[in-house]
């Protein structure tokens, strides 16, 4: 059975008793240099000087791979509605779990629908054409844009025709 306290004691014990400890240590054998100027700071572990805590006035999710939130954080777009509920669940899993990321991506898609509903509630009907930058597409890539629109229109038309035929058949 794992005993974290015992393991920590072993980890913190003086190394002098271990034969050969450090004899081959070579500061130049450091593939992270020059990205990292090694000065041992990461051996301080979590006992480092920290900034004051930013007041937490909104719901902030934090990775469960750290004990708490960071001293500063972004306050853009706090979690809301169904997408927020999904994100809340997602942050119960570590970053190593696919469930964490897949749920967040799913929440992002739900958020798009929430965004449209929220726009309409505020009296804004989203201008999908402008938002998608189709003005630029029309100017510089007209043929591709027309082809793309045609494919979408034909696909929707085909689905409508297929659905209406299916309905007629079931009525007969």
Partner 1 sequence: MLAMNYRGPFRIRADRNRPEPKIEHPYDAIVRVTRSLICGSDLHIYHGLVPDTRVGMTFGHEFTGIVEEVGSGVQKLKRGDHVLVPFNVACGTCPFCKQELYGNCHEANPGATALGGFFGYSHTAGGYDGGQAEYVRVPYADVSPTKIPEGMDIEDAVMLTDVTPTGYQAAEMGGIQKGDTVVVFGAGPIGIMSARCAWLFGAGRVIIIDELEYRLEFARKYAYCEAYNFREMDDPVLFVKKTTDWLGADVVIDAVGCEATGSKLQNILGKKLMLQAGNATALHWAINSLKKGGILSIIGVYGPPWNLIPIGSIMNKGITVRTNQASVKRLLPKLIDHVMAGRLNPKGLISHRFPLEYVSDAYRMFSDKLDNIIKPLLIPPRAFTA
Report residue 64 as tokens: 């469960």
Residue 104 CB, nearest approach to partner 1 (Å): 4
Residue 61 backbone zone (phi > 0: left; psi -120 to 50: alpha; other: beta): beta
Site for partner 1, residues 42 to 101, rule: CB under 8 A: 42-45, 48-52, 54-55, 60-63, 65-66, 69-77, 79, 83, 87, 90-91, 95, 98, 101
Output the smallest distance, CB 4 to partner 1, in A: 19
CA 115 to CA 110: how far, in whole Å? 9
Site for partner 1 in 32-51 (CB under 8 A): 32, 34-39, 41-45, 48-51
Q: Are 134 and 145 in contact (CB under 8 A)?
A: yes
Q: How many residues bind partner 1 (CB under 8 A)?
A: 68
| Angle at 8 (CA atoms; ends 4, 12), nearest 5 degrees | 175
Residues in Cβ contact with 108 at an 8 Å cutoff, skipping those fewer than 6 apart = 83
Residues of this chain that interact with partner 1 (CB under 8 A) are: 31-32, 34-39, 41-45, 48-52, 54-55, 60-63, 65-66, 69-77, 79, 83, 87, 90-91, 95, 98, 101, 104-105, 107-109, 111-112, 114-116, 119, 126-128, 130-137, 140-141, 144
């Amino acid at each position: 059975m794992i005993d974290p306290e015992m393991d920590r004691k072993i980890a913190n014990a003086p190394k002098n008793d271990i034969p050969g400890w450090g004899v081959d240590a070579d500061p130049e054998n450091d593939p992270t240099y020059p990205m990292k100027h090694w000065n041992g700071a990461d051996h301080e572990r979590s006992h480092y000087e920290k900034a004051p805590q930013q007041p937490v006035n909104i719901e902030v999710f934090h990775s469960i791979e750290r004990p708490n939130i960071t001293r500063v954080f972004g306050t853009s777009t706090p979690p809301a509605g169904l997408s927020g509920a999904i994100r809340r669940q997602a942050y119960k899993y570590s970053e190593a779990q696919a469930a964490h990321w897949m749920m967040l991506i799913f929440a992002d898609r739900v958020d798009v629908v929430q965004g449209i509903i929220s726009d309409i509630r505020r009296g804004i009907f989203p201008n999908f054409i402008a938002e998608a930058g189709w003005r630029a597409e029309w100017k510089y890539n007209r043929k591709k844009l027309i082809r793309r629109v045609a494919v979408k229109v034909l696909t929707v038309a085909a689905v409508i025709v297929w659905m209406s035929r299916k309905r007629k058949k079931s009525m007969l």
